[in-house]
Amino acid sequence: MSQFISKDKRTHYCGSLAESDDGKEVVLMGWVHRRRDHGGVIFVDLRDREGIVQIVFNPEVGETVHSEAHKIRSEYVLAVKGKVRIRPEGMTNPDLATGQVEVLVSDLEILNESKTPPFSFDDEDISENIRLKYRYLDLRRPAIQQNLFLRSRLASATRRYFEENGFIEVETPFLTKSTPEGARDYLVPSRINKGTFYALPQSPQIFKQLLMVSGFDRYYQIVKCFRDEDLRADRQPEFTQIDVEMSFITEEDIMQMMEGLMVSIFKACLGKELLLPLPRLTYADAISRYGKDNPDVRFGMEIKDITDIVKNSGFKLFAEVAAQG
């Protein structure tokens, strides 16, 4: 077993180091994001889930460690021990959160070697097929990891908000009976009862109604749902939704509860304050102003009634439509 795993435990994440850590001895573990050899001194950008920090291999500090560092290539997994120091004047990197510091390495262990990756993690134009084929590598990209961290923060903020408002989280069954919904069900054959099938739920609707009848009053769940329908921009066969049910309430009560949820999520996840009440749009207004029930109001492309303008325009097609009302 690696000495770093069994003895020298990791002390910091790469992306957490700052000027306040100057002079500290640290143990880091992560992936080689980039390697540079400048006149005998080897610089490596070491990456973990919290970010990147520059580590330095100087032959004057340790010839054995420096010699071992020559083997390092992109995406090797390293464990290093060293001292944090402020970067020399003019050598700071404003593009990194840790760009004011670096780690002068005194001990190194290569935990795992790597073949040359099929794409650069800085490349934003990777084809979807390549990304899916090497999904385990795609998930190492900082931009992708940040999406998952944001999703985790959103789930935590959601649970915190509902618990503060008297809701209980209940996990409802995935293997259930087929019920009429807006799409086809995914069916799962039963091994015990030959010729019969379970259905994966399109929503927990029946179960949450049972909970209300049973007196649980306020329920929520962050739940997977399944719908066997054609792919579209706003349709996925498998998706996650925040599912909520309340008893003894009015329409205004549920609107206010959901507005509060949005305020909590935006503050916890994005640090943005939303002002209440949020703008509201009735179904009738949405159809009359935008022609659809889920308009993208960022662009303000509203439908305008120009009947009075075109009915006497002399253009037969427009005039006939205007005459029909």
| List of residues 6+ apart from 173 with CB closer than 8 A | 201, 207
251, burial (CB in 10 Å: exposed 0-12, middle 13-18, buried 19+): exposed
Q: Are 14 and 28 in contact (CB under 8 A)?
A: yes
Instruction: Please give the average per-residue pLDDT across 203-210, as a whole number.
Output: 95
Confidence of residue 125 (pLDDT cuts 50, 70, 90): confident
E strands within the chain? 25-38, 41-48, 51-57, 77-86, 101-112, 168-169, 186-189, 197-200, 218-226, 238-246
Higher pLDDT, 300 or 296: 296
Check whether 94 has a pLDDT greater than 90: yes
Is residue 59 reached through a cis peptide bond, with omega within 30 degrees of 0 on the bond before it? no
In the chain, alpha helices (H): 3-6, 63-69, 128-133, 135-138, 142-164, 205-213, 251-270, 283-290, 307-310, 316-323
Amino acid at 90: G
Higher pLDDT, 8 or 14: 14
pLDDT given at position 303: 87
- Output the CA angle 157-161-162, nearest 5 degrees: 120
| Alpha-carbon distance values, 226 to 41, 173, 231, 235, 312 (Å) | 55, 13, 12, 10, 52
The residue with tokens 């050598």 is: 91
pLDDT given at position 307: 76
Q: Of 289, 209, 218, 206, which Cα lies nearest the Cα of 248? A: 218
- Output the CA angle 246-248-250, nearest 5 degrees: 85
The residue with tokens 């998952």 is: 148
Query: Rounded to whole angstroms, how far apart are CA atoms 276 and 263?
Result: 8
pLDDT > 70: what percent of the chain? 98
Instruction: Please give the average per-residue pLDDT across 179-191, as a whole number.
Output: 89
Q: Of 230, 261, 227, which Cα lies nearest the Cα of 244? A: 261
Q: What is the pTM of this model?
A: 0.85
Query: How many CA atoms lie less than 13 Å away from 78 in the CB half-sphere?
Result: 35
Q: What residue ranges define each of the domains in the chain, with the CATH number in brackets?
A: 3-112 (2.40.50.140), 143-270 (3.30.930.10), 281-325 (no CATH)
Per-residue pLDDT of 269-290, as tens digits, reads 999 999 999 999 999 999 999 9
pLDDT given at position 249: 97
223, burial (CB in 10 Å: exposed 0-12, middle 13-18, buried 19+): buried
Q: Which of 58-72, 211-225, 295-309 holds the top average pLDDT?
A: 211-225
Least confident of 96-105, 116-125, 132-141: 116-125
Return the structure tokens found at 179. 């019920």
Whole-number average pLDDT of the chain: 92
Instruction: Please give the average per-residue pLDDT across 211-227, as a whole number.
Output: 97
Three-state DSSP class for residue 51: strand
Higher pLDDT, 181 or 262: 262
Query: Rounded to whole angstroms, how far apart are CA atoms 3 and 15?
Result: 23
Torsion from C-alpha of 170, 174, 177, 178, nearest 10 degrees: 110
Confidence of residue 73 (pLDDT cuts 50, 70, 90): very high
Instruction: Please give the average per-residue pLDDT across 77-90, as a whole number.
Output: 95
pLDDT given at position 61: 87
Higher pLDDT, 108 or 5: 108
Q: Of 299, 296, 318, which Cα lies nearest the Cα of 307? A: 318
Check whether 310 has a pLDDT greater than 80: no
Per-residue pLDDT of 225-284, as tens digits, reads 999 988 887 788 999 999 999 999 999 999 999 999 999 999 999 999 999 999 999 999
- DSSP class of residue 23 equals T
Per-residue pLDDT of 18-62, as tens digits, reads 999 999 999 999 999 999 998 789 999 999 999 999 999 999 888
The residue with tokens 């640090």 is: 271
pLDDT > 90: what percent of the chain? 75
